[in-house]
Amino acid sequence: MTNQPILQNIRILDFSWVLAGPYATRILADFGAEVIKVQPLLPEEAEDAFSRGYYSTWNRNKLGITLNLNKGEGVAIAKKLVAISDAVVENFTPRVMANWGLDYESLKRIKPDLIMLSMSTMGSTGPQRDYVGFGPTVHAFSGMTYLTSLPGKPPMGPGYAHADHVAGLVAALAMLGALEYRRRTGEGQYIDVSQVEAMASLLGDAVLEYTADGRSPEPMGNRSAEAAPHGIYRCRGDDRWCAIAVFNDEEWCRFCRVLGDPSWSEDSRFATSARRLENADELDGWVERWTIQHTAEEVMNRLQAAGIAAGVVQDARDLVNDPQLRSRGFFVELGHPELGKTVSDAVPIRLSRTQARYRRAAPTAGQDNDYVFRDLLGMSAGDITALRKQGVI
């Protein structure tokens, strides 16, 4: 591992909030970018313990400043920071940054080689550009909520903001591409990420199937059109489950051997992959009669030993104690001045020579005001004091 982080000397001004934008900039910060997190001035009572913990999860390794962008002085300071930054990241609806005079056309006049990344629900163009949304909204627009349902049941969706994570990864990838392009050409550019498009691009062949024959794929729950058994099966214990997938006749034979070649496995209804798919309900019943006798871990380990795809349906407690994740250093512990020890997930990317580094927990509100305003912008102590009194910082 080299001594220099891969994104050292890259400075990013981060106006983003909630999850998608902060996740993108957290990845960049983990690999050495100096990310300056811009926070609004909020009274302490505006945040509860959950909000502080949520913010802490997605903003480690960043510097934190407070800035009131509803005041002209605050916008002027933001523009000074743009002038010394490599990139700007925001995930508001398109009209917000323009209302502050901080849209790309305005900012590139300040710094022509600036990279600006915008992450909005629908993208910066089109008739629905100003629609607002969070993860569940994006899931619904993208088609994911419909397809992640049980057959014949109302749409459910994944139950958490999966779209925010996807959009954050897409945004980080786009930023790296733009930084490389600027390194080669000296030119900045505007990056427009639609979170709905990012999510819709992961729907597999659903769109292709409809455009090819006019048939819209139906929700399948935990079933598969190619494998049986394929699902989540109850195991011994309270609310314990294991996911199992058997894709071909060879795997089926190995699966049956693990189960002790029970007599029902020789039923003609289960003789081929096609027959097993036709009789999936009956097959699932037999499989679960076996899994219910064993713990989820026993089911997983026995099937994995035979080369069958199987995995415990893990909850948060399982994840925190997972020996595989712990062996790879997946959990990051950092000390926070208000929250104490915090635990978050490591970046899921391992580079052999320039690994991610976890230097500091998320900043408290305005924690780095003095460094940013005094050391980077050259403000005097008197200037900073006056701006605080005016409610600008």
Over residues 117-170, the pLDDT tens digits come to 999 999 999 999 999 998 899 999 999 999 888 888 899 888 889 999 999 999
Looking at residue 183, what is its pLDDT?
A: 97
pTM of the model: 0.91
Pair 103, 75: CB distance under 8 Å? no
CA distance 333 to 359: 10
Residue 349 φ then ψ, to 5°:
-130, 125
Q: What is the SS3 assignment for 77?
A: helix
Looking at residue 10, what is its pLDDT?
A: 98
Strand ordering across the sheet containing 241-245: 230-234, 241-245, 309-312
Domains of the chain: 11-202+326-390 (3.40.50.10540), 229-313 (3.30.1540.10)
Q: Which residues of the chain have pLDDT under 70?
A: 1-2, 44-50
Nearest to 168 by CA among 91, 82, 116: 91
CA distance 361 to 363: 6
Name the catalytic one among 30, 86, 103, 164: 164
Burial level of 279, CB count in 10 A (0-12/13-18/19+)? middle
Pair 117, 1: CB distance under 8 Å? no
Kindly report the average pLDDT of the chain as a whole number: 93
Looking at residue 210, what is its pLDDT?
A: 78
Give the number of C-alpha atoms closer than 13 A to the C-alpha of residue 18, restricted to the C-beta side: 17
CA distance 88 to 104: 9
130 is catalytic: no
What are the tens digits of pLDDT across the range 12-67?
A: 999 999 999 999 999 999 999 999 999 998 776 556 666 778 889 999 999 999 99
DSSP bridge pairs for 189: 115
19: left (phi over 0), alpha (psi -120 to 50) or beta: alpha
Radius of gyration of the chain from its Cα atoms, rounded to whole angstroms: 25
Looking at residue 48, what is its pLDDT?
A: 67
Looking at residue 49, what is its pLDDT?
A: 63
Looking at residue 1, what is its pLDDT?
A: 47
End-to-end CA distance of the chain, in Å? 39
State the amino acid at position 11 in one-letter form.
R
Q: SS3 for 152-179, per residue?
A: CCCCCCCCCCHHHHHHHHHHHHHHHHHH
